[in-house]
Amino acid sequence: MMKRTFVAAIILGLVSVAYAEDKLVYPTIPNAGGVVPLPHASEQPRKGAKVVFDITTDVKPSELNKGLERVARLINLYGSAGLKASDVKIALVVHGEATKSILTDETYRSKFAIDKNPNLILIGELKKAGVEMFVCGQALANKGFKESEVADGVKVASAALTVVINRQADGYSYVPAH
């Protein structure tokens, strides 16, 4: 009996995940950070928020960085609530194992034998949405990458710590994406 219950739970879980994925919308950032609109939820996105994302998430070189996707999800939450990307100020800083996510296609090809960095399209969409993007200069140096290998639109900060501290001093809420 326990075995059947477990199998049923797995099947039901897969059905609910598939059902949720069918309801995902991408109102601002296409193909990343999909959300389920919940217009009657008690807490809704509101204008004027300021957020700094601290992204250290590691993924396989062929995969989209989940920390970057989380930023897209926040922007899409705003869009699903009828707000614009400009209604929230977002900064992100990439460091640690996530550092590779912001490299150019050429560098990605030479370091990981993969033709294209899968994150660059999303980085471009985040840039269009007004997200301020940084990479930790200390992480670049420690990982053996050069400033010239950083994708367009991503600024090199002296350290991730300085971005987080400075943005928090400016009233940004801290969101870790580890």
Domain spans of the chain, in order of start: 2-36+47-177
Report d(CA 129, CA 126) in Å as an integer.
5
Number of C-beta neighbours around residue 136 at 10 A: 28
The SS3 call for residue 88 is strand
Q: Is the pLDDT of residue 148 over 60?
A: yes
Question: Mean pLDDT, to the nearest integer, of 79-105?
Answer: 97
Question: Mean pLDDT, to the nearest integer, of 15-23?
Answer: 58
Question: Mean pLDDT, to the nearest integer, of 96-107?
Answer: 98
The fold adopted by the segment(s) 2-36+47-177 is Hypothetical Protein Ychn; Chain: A, (3.40.1260)
